[in-house]
């Protein structure tokens, strides 16, 4: 397993490359359960019996493929839900988006998503996502967590935070324009204050939507040209001023405006 820069997304070029050396026949036979990759999310996914989960991924290969897409327990032995991607080479030679709905046949609070195969070849994967269908008001956030926030009856919601917006260095600061639009195309950034990578799947739009869903006043924190260790000169601060003005237009502008139209295309034609 390795990565390369073959993704179909111009602003997010890294894809995962999986080379399978065993096969379904011959001298080097794959184990019955196949070989592949898995992702447990953060400390395991809480998969619940009877609930449906939407899986989205992008895949390509130079060979025909038969890939199992499964939600399993932490060691892969308990299969909670699964389907298969079966495709001929002419159907999969270019990046192809696949979507599935998996209904869980069991419950496990420490689950994972795994992609496995018993067929020799090279397969590339990109932008793999699994989300429950049951989210708070259908907007992607965990219902149980946001319900607890709602019960606090917050009057305002400040986001995305101070240090996160500044960054240790400005080159790693949160820039709202990089966090809107289709989630697959967001480049993400390195949060160098706390030393982790974020894909910015929760971006400016999602923060505004969450504030609205909570009935709270959104308090947006924007960067004025300062990082923890560097800053721009006053004479060159105008791009940051314009970025703030554009951010206001995104949140409050007409759906016919430049940035308001992007908000509308994301599903919120009315201003926040």
pLDDT in tens, 77-121: 999 999 999 999 999 999 999 999 999 999 999 999 999 999 999
Distance CA(43)–CA(202), nearest Å, equals 19
8-47 per-residue burial string, b: 16 or more CB within 10 A, e: under 16? bbeebeebbebebebeeeeeeebeeebebeeeeeeeebeb
- pLDDT (0 to 100) of residue 245: 98
Q: What is the pLDDT of residue 56?
A: 97
Beta carbons within 10 angstroms of residue 90's beta carbon: 8
Task: Find the mean pLDDT for residues 47-76.
Answer: 97
Helices (DSSP H) in 48-122: which residue ranges? Answer: 89-92
- Indicate the pLDDT class of residue 34, thresholds 50, 70 and 90: very high
CA distance 228 to 239: 19
Strand duo 108-117 + 65-72: pairing: antiparallel
The CATH 2.60.120.260 domain(s) of the chain lie at 2-132
Percent residues over pLDDT 90 in the chain: 98
| Interval 197-218 mean pLDDT | 96
* Whether pTM exceeds 0.95: no
Helix, strand, or coil (residue 60) = strand
Q: Tell me the CATH number for domain 2-132.
A: 2.60.120.260
* Token pair of 194 as six digits: 């706390």
Using CA atoms, how far apart are residues 175 and 10, in angstroms rounded to an integer?
18
């Amino acid at each position: 397993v390795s990565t390369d820069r073959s993704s179909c997304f111009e602003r997010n070029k890294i894809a995962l490359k999986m080379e399978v050396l065993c096969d379904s026949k011959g001298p080097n036979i794959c184990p019955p359960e196949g070989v592949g990759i898995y992702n447990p999310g953060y400390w395991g996914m809480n998969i619940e019996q009877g609930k449906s989960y939407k899986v989205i991924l992008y895949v390509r290969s130079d060979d025909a493929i038969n890939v199992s897409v499964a939600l399993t327990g932490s060691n892969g032995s308990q299969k909670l839900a699964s389907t298969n991607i079966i495709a001929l080479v002419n159907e999969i030679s270019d990046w192809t988006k696949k979507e599935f709905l998996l209904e869980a046949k069991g419950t496990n609070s420490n689950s994972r998503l795994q992609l496995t195969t018993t067929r020799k070849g090279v397969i590339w994967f990109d932008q793999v996502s699994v989300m429950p269908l049951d989210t708070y008001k259908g907007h992607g956030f965990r219902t149980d967590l946001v319900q607890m926030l709602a019960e606090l009856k917050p009057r305002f919601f400040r986001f995305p935070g101070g240090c996160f917006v500044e960054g240790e260095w400005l080159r790693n600061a949160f820039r709202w324009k990089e966090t809107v639009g289709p989630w697959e195309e967001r480049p993400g950034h390195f949060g160098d204050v706390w030393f982790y990578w974020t894909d910015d799947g929760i971006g400016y739009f999602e923060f505004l939507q969450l504030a609205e869903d909570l009935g709270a006043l959104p308090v947006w924190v924007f960067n004025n040209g300062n990082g923890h260790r560097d800053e721009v000169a006053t004479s060159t601060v105008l791009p940051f001023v314009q970025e703030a003005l554009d951010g206001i237009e995104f949140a409050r502008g007409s759906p016919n405006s430049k940035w308001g139209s992007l908000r509308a295309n994301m599903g919120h034609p009315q201003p926040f």
